[in-house]
Chain A
C-alpha cells in the first residue's frame, strides 16, 4: 500500500483528475453556502463537539442505557467485537429466517466489515440500494467516498454499466433516464427481498431508537417491505438524548452536501408490528482508539465526508488511492489505527493545510491527529531508512551552528556550479516539474553581518 504511487497514477489522467477535483470542490462550495446561512454555525460545531466528547467519555454507560431501552422497544440487541463477529451475527439472524435476498441501504460499517462478500459466499444475494452504492457494486469495486460512493465515475461510464447490467439503451447517459432505470431495477429487488439491512447515523441512548438519514428513501422502503430489519452500527454512533439530534441533523447534511437536511430522516423505535428488528453494535477497533488520547476525538466523526470534499489531496488523488474503507483525512486517522504498517503512508498524504479541521462539523482536530500519527509511525520504526537517517543528519547539523553555516556556504557554492543534469535527474523529485531556487552566493547571516557593520559605523 503506497499512497504516493496510487496518487501519481490517478493524476496521470490530468483531465480526469481536474474533473474529480472540480466535482468535489463544487460540493465544498455548496457546503460553504449552506453553512453561511446559519450565523450560529460555529456555536453548533462547538456544541456538537462537546456532546460527542461527553458521549465518548461515558461510552460504556450510554451503550448500556441504549441497549436496555432498545430491548424494551422489542429490538434484539447484539454485540460484536470485530468485523468477523459482526458478519457471523448477521448471518445467523438471516439463516434463522431462511433469508436468500437482502436489500441494504448505505452503511460504511458493513463496508468496513466486508459483509457483502461474506454473505455472497453463503449464497445470499445482497443488493445495495443507494444509487451510488449500486453503481460501485455493479462495477465490483469499493466506494471511493463515504457519502458520494460513485463520485469518481462519469455519467457516460454509468450509461455503459447500466447498458450492460440493466439493459438501458446503448450510449444513453442522461442522468434522469439512468436513475429511472435504476429505480425500476431496484424496485424489483425491494419487492423480492426477505430482509433489509441499514446503517445507523445516530443511536439515542435515552430512547433506544436509531436514526437513518438518506436522500433516496431507500432505507425506508428496505425496512417497510421485508419483515426483518437489521441495523448495523459502530459503537460511536451514540448521542445521549433525542434533543441532541437537533444539533447533529442541522450539521450533517449541510456539511455533507450543502442541503439543509437529508431528504429522509427516518426514526426507528422498535420493530413494525409483525416484523422483527435487530441492532448489531460493533467495536472493531473503536475501543482501542478510545484508549488513545491523541486519537480519541476521531470517534466523534459523524461521517459527513466534508473533510474529503475539502481535502486538496483527496480531491486530486481519488478515494481509491487510500486503499482503505474510509479515505481522506478521517480515513487516514482510522486506517493506521487498524494496521499501522499497512497504512503508514496515509498520515503523510497530507500537506497539513488544516482545511479538514476547520470544515469538520464536530471539530475533530484532524490535521493535528495526522501530525500525531506521524510520530507514532516514526516511533514504531516504520519510516523508510532514507527519511529517518536524513532527519537524524539534518538535526545533527542544526545543533551545530558553525558546521551548519560552513556546510551551507560550501553547499551553495557547489550547487551554483553544478551542471543541470547533475541537479535535475531521477534522484531529485523536486526537479521533476519544478526549478530549484536560484542559489545566492551569500547567506542571510553573512549579509546581515555586513549590514550591521555599516549600520554601526
Chain B
C-alpha cells in the first residue's frame, strides 16, 4: 500500500475543500495510505511567477523539509506540481539540500499522473452520464507533459482524458482549440484583467459550442477563473475538478 503525502495547494485548502476531500476519498478508495502534513502552506508559485525570488526560496525549502519523509507526494494541481518539479532547482545549491530536493522532485506527482503512471488505474467502473469538457491546464500539459500539446508533432495522448474515458456514460467534448490557455495565469488574471477575461470567455464559448455541461480540469485555479466568468454571465455550465468526478464514480 503506497503511502502518500498529500500536497494540497493553499487556495484549494482555503477555497475548495471539496476538491481536497475528493482527492482523499479517491486515493483511499484506490488503497493508498494518506497523510496530510499540517505544516504545509503554499509551494511559492505566486511569488515565483512575480519574480520575487527571496520570498519564494524559504517556501521551497520548507516544502522539501515537510515532504521528504513520504514515499509519494501527490497534488491535485498540475501547476503547483510543475512549480516543484520545474522551478525549485535554483533554491537548492549545496549538495545535501540538492539531494533532498531531487528526491522530493522525483516522487512528486500530479493526481492524474499518479493514478495512470504509478497506480496504473486502467478500469474505472462507475458512471457519470454527462457531457464533460476537459480543459487542458497549461502547466500540466506543457511543463509536466501530462498530455500531447497541439503545437508538437507527436502521438496524441492525455492522462486526464484517458481516465475520464474509462467512465461509463461520459461524453467528452471535442473543442475547436484543443489546448488553448484559459487566461488565469496567477497574478496575470488581475494585472492583465482584460486579456485574461477575454481568454476565459473564449474558452467557455468553445466549450459551449461543443455542448459541455461539466467543465473539468486538473487545476482548480483555471476552473476558479472560468467559474467566475460562467457564474457572472449565467452560462449553463458547471465546473468540477477532475478529482471530484473521479471520486464520485470510483
Contact = CB atoms under 8 A, between A and B. Distances in A.
B194 A8 contact: yes
Nearest to B229: A434
A315 B51 CA distance: 25
B139 interface: yes
Interface string B175-207: 001001101111111111111111110100000
A348 B186 CA distance: 11
Interface string B160-178: 0000000000000000010
Interface residues of B, number: 74
Contact of A377 (B51, B56, B138, B184): B51
Given A376-B51, A447-B21, A42 B192 contact: no
Contacts, number: 213
B12 interface: yes
Interface string B222-237: 0011011101100000
A404 to B, nearest CB: 5
Nearest to B53: A375
A42 B38 contact: no
A448 interface: yes
Contacts of A349: 192, 195
B191 to A, nearest CB: 6
B192 A408 contact: no
B143 A445 contact: no
B195 A435 contact: no
A415 to B, nearest CB: 10
Contacts of A167: none
A3 interface: yes
A434 B49 contact: no
Contact of B16 (A3, A7, A354, A437): A437
Interface string A358-390: 110000000100010111111100010001100
A8 B142 CA distance: 27
A412 interface: yes
B44 A434 contact: no
B100 interface: no
Nearest to A409: B14
A421 interface: no
Contacts of B8: 444-445
A113 interface: no
Contacts of B58: 395, 399
Contacts of B53: 375, 378-379
B198 A444 contact: no
A153 interface: no
Interface in A7-38: 7-8, 11, 14, 17, 21, 25, 32, 35-36, 38
Contact of A378 (B52, B87, B189): B52
Most chain A beta-carbon neighbours within 10 Å: one of B42, B50, B150, B185: B50
A39 B21 contact: no
Contacts of A35: 153
B211 interface: no
A322 to B, nearest CB: 12
Given A391-B55, A443-B13, A348 B153 contact: no
A447 B16 CA distance: 11
Contact of A350 (B41, B188, B232): B188
B52 A392 contact: yes
B192 A4 contact: yes
A401 B36 CA distance: 13
B40 interface: yes
A439 interface: yes
A434 B232 contact: yes
B198 A11 contact: yes
A448 B36 contact: yes
B138 to A, nearest CB: 4
B103 interface: no
10 contacts: A32-B150, A32-B151, A350-B185, A352-B185, A399-B62, A433-B228, A434-B228, A443-B14, A444-B8, A444-B19
Interface of A: 3-4, 7-8, 11, 14, 17, 21, 25, 32, 35-36, 38-39, 41-42, 310, 312-313, 316-317, 348-355, 357-359, 367, 371, 373-379, 383, 387-388, 391-392, 394-395, 397-399, 401, 404, 408, 411-412, 429-430, 432-437, 439-440, 442-448, 451-452
Interface of B: 8, 10, 12-21, 24, 36, 38-42, 44, 46-53, 55-56, 58-59, 62, 87, 138-139, 141-143, 149-154, 177, 180-181, 183-200, 202, 224-225, 227-229, 231-232
Given A357-B142, A358-B142, A429-B190, 20 more contacts: A4-B191, A4-B193, A41-B152, A316-B198, A351-B188, A352-B188, A374-B49, A378-B50, A392-B52, A395-B52, A399-B58, A408-B14, A430-B189, A432-B197, A433-B229, A434-B225, A434-B229, A435-B227, A443-B13, A446-B17
